[in-house]
Amino acid sequence: MDTDAYLPPAVCNLIERQPSAHSLLREFYSDEEIYRLDLERVWRKGWLFAGHSCEIPASGDYFSLEVDKDSLIVVRGDDGQAHALHNVCRHRGSLICEDACGHLKKLVCPYHRWTYTLDGSLFHAPGMQEDLDKSKLGLKSVAIREVQGLIFVCLAESPLDFNPAGDVLSDFARPQGFTRSKVAKAVDYLVKANWKLVWENNRECFHCNANHPQYIKANFDHYNADDTSPRIREQIAAVVSQSEARWAAAGLAVTHKQTGMTSFPDAERNIWYSANRTALVDGYVSETMDGQQVAPLMGDYKDAEVGTVRMRTLPNFWNHSSCDHGVSTRLLPAGPQLTAIRVWWLVDANAVEGRDYDLSKLLPFWQLTSEQDWVICERQQRGVNSSAYTPGPYSTYKEYNVDAFVRWYLKQLQKP
């Protein structure tokens, strides 16, 4: 492909200078020009996780999300379908909804009260001439897909085919029961790091031993080919064979049976979605501080021993789910060195706080682990900004997914 035809010369030069199997050159993590390209070539093209169906169960329920400067509203229509609309009035451009979420019968612009139905059609334009063609002045909509309780939107005019991702995600989200869940808690973070640093951190567990004392007690993916001892190998083999039989009886597949993280993404084939179910350490049935169940079983689960489900989609979503709760993480770009992150904890829709679950037991495992990661990312951003920073080499044992992420990213940049 003729990269030069689509990219500014300075960016072509950076891509040419980028050493393979090394962290990115500083500019990729810090510059405004690269950030604008990221928005255009990654964020405006890809499918973005927006939120959960259970956040907008009834017609008129909505939430908003900001993708850099674009404000979107995701609203449940009178037809029961979720619609994704630009939150920009077609009269003179005012934002319509300022609240992060709520319930509306119609979307009414606060400026001059143009009124839109829940699918974005212009319903009423008070004070305007009678021959105004309302049919041409509906709110601009964006593509939306709802898959087993998870909502994705895409800003592109011709979105990528969502179906292959939808099939993979629904195989794992269905038994987890996100369509029958509720949000127990959501926490927002504004992390002072480029979104790619956040992903790179997510794509390796090299840092886990030194940074995640809670996480490593529950999981095996911080071991790799270089440090999986025969004893650890035996432990994994034991939990996997034990789990396989139980899960097969429940119709659940074990899809990741080794130490180390499952391979993702696949830069060569542009695989931007994946999901797997993997075993937890013996004695852990949930990703909680002591490994014990802290809420009623979710979805189709009849047994607490279902391991952990992992789902992820580039550029902005991952979810870790246990038998009793799911944790979703959404990234949104907020600047060259700023990422808006929301973490949600989901439980069964009928679970009652104080009776069936307690936030003090539900939250800490992923709240601590997430916040440990945000500190790491901010610290790395500060180091990368230093004049002394130069790209460093990736470990082939432990950073294969970081390398794959970086290659995936560079490929997206070079696509027109």
* Binding site residues, ligand FES, CB under 6 A: 89, 91-92, 94, 109, 111-114
- What CA–CA distance (Å, rounded) separates 217 from 49? 29
In the complex with ligand FES, the residue whose CB is nearer, 92 or 382, is 92
Q: What does 109 interact with, of Fe ion, ligand FES, none (CB < 5 to 8 A by kind)? A: ligand FES
Which H or E run contains 276? Answer: strand 273-278
Closest separation in Å from C-beta 88 to ligand FES: 9
Those residues with Cβ within 8 angstroms of residue 193's Cβ, 6 or more apart along the chain or in another chain: 337, 338, 339, 374, 377, 378, 380, 381
Report the candidate in 130, 82, 122, 90 with the shortest Cα–Cα distance to residue 106.
122
User: Which class for 317: exposed (0-12), middle (13-18), buried (19 or more C-beta within 10 A)?
Assistant: buried
Are 336 and 158 a contacting pair, CB within 8 Å? no
**Is the CB of 18 or the CB of 211 nearer to Fe ion?**
211
Amino acid at 364: P
How near is the Cβ of 186 to Fe ion at its closest, in Å?
20
Closest approach, Cβ 112 to ligand FES, in A, equals 3
If the CB atoms of residues 210 and 249 are measured against Fe ion, the closer one turns out to be 210
Q: Which of residues 17 and 379 has its CB atom nearest to Fe ion in the complex? A: 379
Q: In the bound complex, what is the minimum distance in angstroms from residue 90's beta carbon to ligand FES?
A: 8
Q: Please, what sign has the CA dihedral across residues 238, 239, 244, 246?
A: positive
Q: Which is nearer to ligand FES, 92 or 379 (CB)?
A: 92
The partner in contact with residue 174, picked from Fe ion, ligand FES, none with C-beta cut-offs of 5 to 8 angstroms by kind, is none
Of these partners, Fe ion, ligand FES, none, which one is at the site of residue 351 (CB under 5 to 8 Å by kind)? none
Of 126 and 354, the one with the shorter C-beta distance to ligand FES is 126
The alpha carbon of 279 is separated from its chain's Cα centroid by a whole number of angstroms, namely: 22
Shortest CB 263 distance to Fe ion, Å: 18
Picked from ligand FES, Fe ion, none, the partner binding residue 94 (CB below 5 to 8 A depending on kind) is ligand FES
Binding interface with Fe ion (CB under 5 A): 373
Token representation of residue 214: 């809670």
Of residues 71 and 395, the one with the C-beta less far from Fe ion: 395
> Distance between CA 143 and CA 309 in Å, rounded?
27
User: If contact means CB under 5 to 8 A according to the sort of partner, which of Fe ion, ligand FES, none does residue 114 touch?
Assistant: ligand FES
What's the CA gap between 93 and 358, in Å, rounded?
44
Between 192 and 411, name the residue whose CB sits nearer to Fe ion: 192
Q: How many CB atoms lie within 10 A of CB 288?
A: 22
- CB 131, min distance to ligand FES, A: 18
CB of 321 to Fe ion, least distance (A): 17
Per partner kind, with CB cut-offs from 5 to 8 A, the member of ligand FES, Fe ion, none near residue 111 is: ligand FES
Contact partner, 373, from Fe ion, ligand FES, none, Cβ < 5-8 Å per class: Fe ion
**For the chain, the helix, strand and coil percentages under 3-state DSSP, each to the nearest 5:** 30, 25, 45
Q: How far apart are CA 202 and CA 193, in angstroms?
A: 13
CB of 386 to ligand FES, least distance (A): 45
DSSP H helices, 158-300, are 163-176, 195-202, 208-211, 215-218, 230-249
Q: Which does 92 bind (CB under 5 to 8 A by kind): Fe ion, ligand FES, none?
A: ligand FES
Smallest distance, Å, CB 93 to ligand FES? 6
Q: Is 294 within 8 Å of 361 (Cβ atoms)?
A: yes
Give the nearer residue to Fe ion in terms of CB position, either 27 or 373. 373
